Amino acid sequence: MDILIIEDDVEIAQLLKLLLEKEGFACRICGDGPAALDAVQAQPPDLMILDLMIPGLDGLEVCARVRQQPGPKDPYILMLTAKGEEVDRIIGLSTGADDYMVKPFSPKELVARVRALLRRSLRHIETPGHTQSTSHFELDLEQHKAFRNLEGESEELDLTTLEFKLLSAFLSYPGRVWSRSQLIDKLWDGDFFGDERVVDTHVARLRKKIEPDPSKPTFVKTVIGAGYKFEDQAN
């Protein structure tokens, strides 16, 4: 597994590299935002450890750009921040971070979170049959392709692996209200290690790709105080 460390503090970057290489991971280091984007484009990693405060482009901007232009891999992103109060901002901006840690952090906990994130890539959707469909959506579970049908036209959706799994979960039980913890259990089978609000980030990303107007979702709806539910009625 290839890990890209984006950290401008040389001592912390080298410590992370040493720590993770002892665990058998291959690691690269970048010290600023533009260099990180170049490294991702040249050789997409399996996971990024991304400091929030880096020169050139901050961690939020790097994270957003990586998610906007996915390559052959859609890397997991573990955000590092020195300020606990930044956590809500990281999650709320829907930049696409999968987890976060606040400095100073426990080396053992960081390794545990890295392993938990990378284990998710080994999970597959376990849904009987080969396709799922509703009035406006169809998933090919074997080919991992998703299609949206609006106004008589079919459009293939460019979904990441996690977004595909999330949509599959919604399509499997239309009308069901899902709590964050239920979605985590469904998607990651107990391998999740982090803040449940990360689910909000991924729901927001999915909405941008499937909703005609993401600011007024018609398919994936928020149920205040409960979670999310998927509705798809024929016109």
Look up the CATH number of the domain holding residue 37: 3.40.50.2300
Examine the pLDDT at 172 and tell me if it is beyond 70: yes
Q: How confident is the model at residue 14 (pLDDT cuts 50, 70, 90)?
A: very high
Q: Could you give the strand order of the β-sheet that contains 76-81, starting from the edge strand earlier in sequence?
A: 26-30, 2-6, 47-51, 76-81, 99-102
**3 state DSSP class of 178:** strand
pLDDT higher at 100 or 10: 10
25 and 56 fall within a common domain? yes
Confidence at residue 126, expressed as pLDDT on a 0 to 100 scale:
44
98 and 41 fall within a common domain? yes
Q: How far apart are CA 113 and CA 49, in angstroms?
A: 11
Dihedral over Cα of 204, 206, 207, 209: its sign: positive
Residue 126 domain-assigned (yes or no): no
| CA distances in angstroms from 119 to 33, 55, 110, 142, 225, listed in the order given | 27, 31, 14, 21, 30
Residue 104 domain-assigned (yes or no): yes
Looking at 120, 145, 162, the residue that finishes a domain is 120
111 and 21 fall within a common domain? yes
65 and 171 fall within a common domain? no
138 and 104 fall within a common domain? no
38 and 84 fall within a common domain? yes
56 and 146 fall within a common domain? no
Examine the pLDDT at 211 and tell me if it is beyond 90: yes
Count CB-CB contacts under 10 A for residue 130.
10
8 and 112 fall within a common domain? yes
Question: Over pLDDT 70: what percentage of the chain?
Answer: 85
Q: How far apart are CA 43 and CA 38, in angstroms?
A: 9
11 and 116 fall within a common domain? yes
Helices (H), the chain: 10-22, 33-42, 59-68, 87-92, 107-120, 161-172, 180-188, 198-210
Q: How confident is the model at residue 28 (pLDDT cuts 50, 70, 90)?
A: very high
Q: How confident is the model at residue 10 (pLDDT cuts 50, 70, 90)?
A: very high
Check: pTM over 0.75? Answer yes or no.
no
Q: How confident is the model at residue 228 (pLDDT cuts 50, 70, 90)?
A: very high
Instruction: Note down the domain range covering 224.
Output: 131-230
Q: Which residues contact 28 (CB under 8 A, 6 or more apart)?
A: 2, 3, 4, 5, 39, 43, 45
Count of structural domains, the chain: 2
| CA distances in angstroms from 206 to 157, 193, 203, listed in the order given | 10, 21, 5
24 and 115 fall within a common domain? yes
Residue 197 domain-assigned (yes or no): yes
136 and 108 fall within a common domain? no
Looking at 60, 93, 120, the residue that finishes a domain is 120
pLDDT digits (tens, 9 = 90+) for 46-70: 899 999 889 999 888 898 888 877 6
Q: What is the mean pLDDT of the chain?
A: 83
Q: Are 63 and 75 in contact (CB under 8 A)?
A: no
Q: Are 203 and 167 in contact (CB under 8 A)?
A: no
33 and 113 fall within a common domain? yes
Confidence at residue 129, expressed as pLDDT on a 0 to 100 scale:
53
